Amino acid sequence: MEKQEWLFKQLQEIYNQSTDFNEVVLIKAIQNIINEQTKRIEQMEGELEGTLWSPRKWGE
Amino acid sequence: MKTLLIVSHPDLINSGSQQYFLSSLKGNDKITVHHLETQYPDGKIDVAKEQALLREHDRIIFQFPFYWYSSPPLLKQWQDVVLEAGFAYGKRGNALYGKEFGLVLMIGVAEREYQAGGTELFSINELTKPFQAMAHKTGMIYLRPLTIFQFGYLEEDQKMDLLIKYWQLLTMENDFSLTTREKWLIAMLKNFIDQNSDSPNARIFTYAVDLIEENRNTIDGLKMVFDDMYD
């Protein structure tokens, strides 16, 4: 998460200063994909935690 | 993969929405932008030249404003004369077979109106049936269209998201899974890094590539855990 925060801060600085519109759109694409990956990871970790704590699994 | 972007618009210079998308493609050697009204102001289409262009490309895209549920007249004329028997269909007419075909539509009415109960009554999928049938008859694979509704009313963020989808329609393989979109973006970033190796921003973009790849490894690792659990 620290890595992502640092990266997003750096990207935002480029985003604010860049005069190259395609570069700005690429930054938006990076932010979109990393946010989507993070959400996917959180959902999978949540599912894993839920499964490990399921009483149905305790008897196994 | 080489993409041929066939644009039809009678007044392209003064169309803000068309310019927004087209200006982002300058210098891209994988995309050929071909504006019919500039090429043929007198309406006389060079059929042999157009057919040669089609043969040279793997993905064919039509981009136009959606006028009366169809294209501007020159694009219809282009279809009538270029996609002739013996080239696009009929005996030995297999020049387009296996290529991909897609639409980019600029639409002046709100998306919600294109459905039963809306002012336009029919969906875009219904109204674009002639283009789907054309792709089918010529053996082309029909791609998900990019529909841009009321461009002028969109926020800057929404416009940028559409531009990303536009680039994907033009250059990404026909699969919208997260993995494919990651790979596509990494290739775009590496290309940017190569072209701007002196820029301090290249270092940040390299870091972004690393993080995207690291996240992918985490997702794949979690998938493996689930696969083991449910086996």
Which structural domain, as residue segments, surrounds residue B117? 3-174
Task: Locate B72 and state its tokens.
Answer: 């501007």
Helices (H), chain B: 16-22, 36-39, 47-56, 73-82, 124-127, 129-137, 156-171, 178-195, 201-230
How many residues make up chain B in this entry? Answer: 231
Q: Are residues B156 and B220 in the same domain?
A: no
**Which residues in chain B (50-79) have CB-CB distances under 8 A to chain A?**
none
The tens digit of pLDDT for each residue in B79-128 reads 999 999 999 999 999 999 999 999 999 999 999 999 999 999 999 999 99
Q: Which amino acid is at B5?
A: L
- Residue B167 is predicted with a pLDDT of 98
Distances (CA, A) of B187 to A2, B44, B86, B184: 25, 40, 38, 5
Q: Nearest C-alpha of chain B: how many angstroms from A59?
A: 15
C-alpha triplet B88, B89, B93: angle, nearest 5°: 75
Across residues B128-152, what is the average pLDDT?
98
All residues of chain A having their beta carbon less than 8 Å from the beta carbon of residue B178 are 33, 36-37, 40
- Residue A53 is predicted with a pLDDT of 74
Structural element, H or E, at residue B96: none
DSSP secondary structure string, B148-177? EE-GGGS-HHHHHHHHHHHHHHHHS-S---
Q: Nearest C-alpha of chain A: how many angstroms from B108?
A: 24
What confidence category does residue A59 fall into, taking pLDDT thresholds of 50, 70 and 90? low
Q: Is residue B102 within 8 Å of B142, Cβ to Cβ?
A: yes
Which DSSP letter does residue B71 get? -
Q: Which amino acid is at B215?
A: N
Q: Are residues B162 and B188 in the same domain?
A: no
Q: Are residues B128 and B193 in the same domain?
A: no
Q: How far is CA B219 from the centre of its chain?
A: 29
Q: Are residues B132 and B72 in the same domain?
A: yes
Nearest-angstrom CA–CA distance, B123 and B149: 13
Task: Locate B155 and state its tokens.
Answer: 């926020």
When divided into structural domains, chain B yields a total of 2
- Residue A57 is predicted with a pLDDT of 63
Which DSSP letter does residue B89 get? B
Which DSSP letter does residue B112 get? G
The tens digit of pLDDT for each residue in B7-60 reads 999 999 999 999 999 999 998 889 999 999 999 999 999 999 999 999 999 999
- Residue A60 is predicted with a pLDDT of 55
What percent of chain B is modeled with pLDDT above 70?
A: 100
Which structural domain, as residue segments, surrounds residue A6? 1-57
Q: Are residues B107 and B85 in the same domain?
A: yes
**Which residues in chain B (20-39) have CB-CB distances under 8 A to chain A?**
23-24
Q: Are residues B10 and B109 in the same domain?
A: yes
Nearest-angstrom CA–CA distance, B231 and B225: 10
Asked if this assembly's ipTM is beyond 0.95, the reply is no
Task: Locate B73 and state its tokens.
Answer: 């007249």
When divided into structural domains, chain A yields a total of 1
Q: Is residue B124 within 8 Å of B168, Cβ to Cβ?
A: no
Q: Nearest C-alpha of chain A: how many angstroms from B185?
A: 8
Domain of residue B57, CATH code = 3.40.50.360
Its pTM stands at: 0.94
The tens digit of pLDDT for each residue in A1-57 reads 789 999 999 999 999 999 999 999 999 999 999 999 999 999 999 988 887 777 766
The end-to-end CA distance of chain B, in Å, is: 39
**Cross-strand bridge partners of residue B6:** B34, B62
B124 vs B228, higher pLDDT: B124
Q: Are residues B114 and B151 in the same domain?
A: yes
